[in-house]
């Protein structure tokens, strides 16, 4: 089946200008200034986008797809996310993970949920583990999980947080070695995603592991790096070593917004290629008092991604092609999908997002299927009305 989108203002994310895009099945088959020769092809669907912005579908690489929360008891657990929670917000690729609760939330459930979302139209991956050390796994250890389970590309752990297992640098080095080796054997990234809390230890365990082991910095991905100026500064140093830092869109209590925090990292010398932004969608975002007691709870969604993109452009002065990299090209590299995801290019998956002049979702294509048109969901999950 062929689809031809004409007169697209393409951000790949680099700005290419007006192009026609030919989609065959789930791939971008051709792209050029004029593909009018294809207009008479049999069974082709043609859409004239009249100069609208077309960019890669967003990659949300930190999502609690089975729900998170629980810090205030069973009733505070957040619900599972649905297909349209992503597509209506321009997201076509998702990495699922667990958080604080590794008791009522299981890796088995997470694996089935990411597979379900893929059946419904997204591209999905997941992490083994949760906040805890020793690390919870499906097969008995981290390396085997990464090697033997198709969806698993790395491991999750929490550091510098009162809800963590007080992970030492030595423990983190050992965990990272396992993830790296699993990635080498299976051809996957072997990521170590680190929930960053507010402890003054900050990234001390990461820097210890880098100094006392042979694990390259590229395997470490600390997230929630917008919690404090000090944490941002340490994150900048990590990017200079080859690591990537992730900012959570609109983290609570961050009044200027995550866009301001991310741009402050760029001004401090962070390499833009080693910076990403994710939503923490489905996860709880608790507020704690000085005694460490939870005094409030809300749930994140992927809607914050484009919200922060707009802030980066309108408030911080970034151009669109630079801002898009943090949601597309950069996370694609991290999850081992360079050239397939996070780009508009011949041979790439047909994950396409059409934005309005105000950078709002107009249309979404996920793996060659129209998921959203004129802001309305055309693809829905099994239990969505």
In angstroms, the Cα distances linking 290 to 29, 199, 287, 294, 295 are 56, 12, 10, 10, 10
DSSP-based three-state secondary structure for 304: helix
- Cα separation, 375 vs 385, whole angstroms: 16
CB 222 within 8 A of CB 246: yes
DSSP-based three-state secondary structure for 18: strand
Beta bridge partners of 338: 341
- Cα separation, 140 vs 149, whole angstroms: 12
Residue of 56, 88, 21, 53 lying closest to 355 (CA atoms):
53
Beta bridge partners of 31: 21
- Cα separation, 222 vs 157, whole angstroms: 10
Let me know how long the chain is.
385
246, 280, 349, 351: the catalytic one is 280
Q: Is 349 annotated as catalytic?
A: no
CB 154 within 8 A of CB 179: yes
3-state SS, 360-377, equals CEEEEEECCEEEEECCEE
311 burial via Cβ count (<10 Å: 0-12, 13-18, 19+): buried
Q: What is the 8-class DSSP label of residue 349?
A: B
Q: What is the DSSP string of 123-173?
A: EEEEEEE-S-SSPP-SSSSHHHHHHH-TTEEEEEEEESSTTS----HHHHH
Q: Report the sign of the C-alpha dihedral through residues 375, 376, 379, 385, in that order.
A: positive
CB 56 within 8 A of CB 64: no
Task: Give the contacts of 288 (CB within 8 A, at least 6 positions apart).
Answer: 162, 294, 295
Catalytic residue IDs: 280
């Amino acid at each position: 089946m062929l689809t031809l989108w004409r007169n697209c203002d393409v951000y790949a994310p680099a700005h290419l200008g007006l192009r026609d895009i030919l989609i065959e099945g789930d791939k971008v088959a051709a792209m050029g200034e004029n593909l009018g020769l294809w207009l008479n092809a049999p069974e082709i669907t043609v859409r004239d986008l009249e100069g609208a912005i077309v960019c890669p579908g967003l990659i949300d690489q930190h999502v609690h797809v089975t729900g998170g929360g629980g810090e205030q008891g069973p009733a505070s657990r957040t619900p599972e996310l649905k297909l349209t929670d992503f597509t209506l917000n321009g997201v076509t690729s998702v990495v699922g993970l667990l958080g604080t609760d590794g008791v009522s939330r299981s890796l088995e459930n997470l694996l089935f949920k990411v597979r379900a979302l893929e059946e419904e139209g997204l591209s999905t991956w997941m992490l083994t583990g949760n906040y805890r050390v020793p690390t919870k796994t499906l097969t008995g250890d981290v390396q085997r999980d990464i090697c033997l389970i198709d969806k698993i590309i790395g491991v999750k752990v929490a550091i510098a947080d009162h809800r963590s297992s007080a992970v030492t640098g030595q423990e983190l080095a050992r965990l990272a070695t396992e993830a790296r080796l699993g990635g080498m054997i299976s051809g996957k990234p072997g990521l170590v995603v680190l929930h960053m809390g507010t402890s003054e230890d900050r990234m001390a365990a990461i820097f210890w592991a880098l100094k006392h082991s042979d694990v390259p910095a590229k395997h470490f991905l600390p997230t929630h790096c917008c919690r404090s100026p000090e944490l941002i500064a340490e994150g900048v140093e990590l990017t200079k070593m080859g690591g990537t830092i992730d900012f959570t869109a609109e983290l609570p209590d961050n009044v200027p917004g995550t866009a301001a925090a991310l741009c402050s990292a760029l001004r401090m010398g962070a390499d833009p290629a080693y910076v990403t932004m994710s939503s923490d969608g489905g996860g709880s975002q608790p507020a704690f008092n000085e005694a460490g007691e939870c005094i409030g709870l809300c749930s994140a969604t992927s809607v914050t991604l484009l919200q922060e993109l707009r802030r980066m452009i309108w408030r911080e002065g970034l151009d669109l092609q630079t801002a898009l990299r943090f949601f597309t090209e950069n996370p694609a590299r991290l999850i081992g999908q360079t050239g397939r995801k996070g780009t508009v290019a011949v041979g790439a998956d047909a994950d396409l997002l059409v934005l309005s002049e105000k950078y709002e979702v107009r249309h979404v294509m996920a793996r060659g299927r129209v998921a959203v048109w004129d802001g309305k969901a055309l693809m829905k999950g099994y239990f969505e009305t």
